[in-house]
Amino acid sequence: MSDKIHEFGFDTLQIHAGSRPDPATGARQTPIYQTTAYVFRDAEHAAALFNLQEVGYIYSRLTNPTVAVLQERIATLEGGSGAVCCSSGHAAQIMALFPLMSPGRNVVVSTRLYGGSVTQFSQTIKRFGWSAKFVDIDDTDAVKAAIDDDTRAIFCESIANPGGHIADIDTLAKIADDAGLPLIVDNTSATPYLCRPIEHGATLVVHSMTKFLTGNGTVTGGCVVDSGTFDWSASDKFPSLSEPEPAYHGLKFHETFGPLAFTFHGIAIGLRDLGMTLNPQAAHYTLMGIETLSLRMQKHVENAETVASWLENHDAVEAVTYAGLKSSPSYDRVAKICPKGAGGLFTVALKGGYEACVKLVDNLELFSHVANLGDTRSLVIHSASTTHRQLTPEQQTAAGAAPNVVRISIGIEDADDIIADLDQALKKASS
Ligand SMILES: *Cc1c(COP(=O)(O)O)cnc(C)c1O
């Protein structure tokens, strides 16, 4: 079905894209190819595979048939040319930047990011000689001003974790384009069901598959999707993709693989040498999750809208950041960026401040107090004392995780039950 795949709708593609009955057994569900290596037909076949002259399976650090189905499925759902899966969302961010960066280069990133990403970008990437410049991405002048000769990408989240801020991806893509740079969008909170960043001009999309894509809190995984549209050879800024690669006898990835250059580089260099590989068992769980992605996201959105409206009118609540509420500064962007809804993640600021937040978290019963989101279960966390703990108070506030705020990931339980739990816990938190 691969050559007519574009005719199918999202609900069909989330089940079928990339998968076909197993050629060896006819198994309808994608088998978990629990194997490390693959037998070569002969020495010539092995040599062709190692030279990247023929595409096939060598060793599961690079490629695995179960993982390959997942890669094709996500690439299709995002409207990209290819995708590389890896072991976590954070691995995906390194895998996305790795071909673009080198010592002395920088990436312009949004201040509104998942706390772990703020730490990864502000601290850890320095060890590679890379740096990040944090800017308010709604301030287009600031974004433009932050770009210099050493900038190699712009990075933002479509719907930001935890505050629910929605990025104006079209405007950022235009700025990136004018500067000859790729725009990387972390689409974890939105998923391709709610937002397709490539349609808004993004070059690369990264995911923590740990969250909504898998959807039930079972495995960690990440993914980098390439739009296939960026001209890596237009400038001398991206030599890893445009210049001869010594490790492959001078092969030029962009010239040789065209729209698949980034994907092939991610496998042949990124996974080969960084080794942040996704295992086939994890790929299986994520494939199972994606089969019901649209149904789950509809229910996450429906519940989030109901619960956020209820919370907004509660006496103990100071503010709710859900972009699906008219009071949100991002509300106007929902129709343009994520027309099927603003997701299932938001923050709630309590009038009782830090103390009330901690009491709320401790008294919730249906909600689980965990450092995760995008589960079928409703989840809660006090970001300032956990996921965003490493950040300065200024960074916490800029990221939407001030001390008086709890992050809520609305599950797909009955909305009445979610509200009842919040109601009893808020009473205790404000007494
Ligand atoms: C969780 C998360 C990440 C990191 O993903 P892991 O799978 O935990 O490594 C990155 N970005 C966002 C928006 C996230 O929510």
Does a structural domain hold residue 133? no
| One domain for residues 223 and 271 | yes
Question: Is residue 106 classed as helix, strand or coil in its secondary structure?
Answer: strand
Mean pLDDT of the chain: 95
Question: Is residue 133 classed as helix, strand or coil in its secondary structure?
Answer: strand
| One domain for residues 264 and 303 | no
Q: How far is the CA of 59 from the centre of ligand 1 (A)?
A: 27
| One domain for residues 264 and 307 | no
**With a 6 A CB cut-off, is 88 part of the ligand 1 pocket?**
yes
**With a 6 A CB cut-off, is 387 part of the ligand 1 pocket?**
no
How many distinct structural domains can be found in the chain?
A: 2
| One domain for residues 271 and 323 | no
| One domain for residues 45 and 62 | yes
Does a structural domain hold residue 21? yes
Instruction: Single out the residue in 235, 264, 289 at which a domain terminates.
Output: 289
- pLDDT-derived band at 162 (thresholds 50, 70, 90) equals confident
| One domain for residues 265 and 314 | no
Residue 249 or residue 275, greater confidence: 275
| One domain for residues 249 and 318 | no
| One domain for residues 330 and 247 | no
Q: Considering the entire predicted model, what is its pTM?
A: 0.96
CB atoms within 10 A of CB 346: 30
Does a structural domain hold residue 78? yes
Q: How far is the CA of 91 from the centre of ligand 1 (A)?
A: 9
Does a structural domain hold residue 63? yes
| One domain for residues 74 and 188 | yes
- Nearest alpha carbon to residue 167 among 200, 199, 145: 200
| One domain for residues 341 and 369 | yes
**With a 6 A CB cut-off, is 89 part of the ligand 1 pocket?**
yes
Look up the CATH number of the domain holding residue 92: 3.40.640.10
| One domain for residues 78 and 224 | yes
Question: Is residue 59 classed as helix, strand or coil in its secondary structure?
Answer: strand
Best probe residue, ligand 1, of 155, 161, 276, 279 (max atoms within 8 Å of C-beta): 161
Instruction: Single out the residue in 289, 313, 343 at which a domain terminates.
Output: 289
Q: How far is the CA of 96 from the centre of ligand 1 (A)?
A: 14
Does a structural domain hold residue 158? no
| One domain for residues 224 and 344 | no
Average pLDDT over residues 216-236: 97
Q: How far is the CA of 76 from the centre of ligand 1 (A)?
A: 21
Q: Give the full edge-to-edge strand order of the sheet including 151-157.
A: 82-86, 222-226, 204-208, 183-186, 151-157, 106-110, 131-135
Least confident of 52-61, 166-175, 178-187, 413-422: 52-61
Digit-coded pLDDT (tens) for 96-139: 999 999 999 999 999 999 989 999 999 999 999 999 999 999 99
Does a structural domain hold residue 203? yes
- pLDDT-derived band at 1 (thresholds 50, 70, 90) equals very low
Average pLDDT over residues 388-412: 87
Q: Is the pLDDT of residue 4 over 80?
A: no
Domain containing 33 equals 10-100+182-289
Q: How far is the CA of 317 from the centre of ligand 1 (A)?
A: 27
Instruction: Single out the residue in 241, 257, 289 at which a domain terminates.
Output: 289
pLDDT at 6: 55
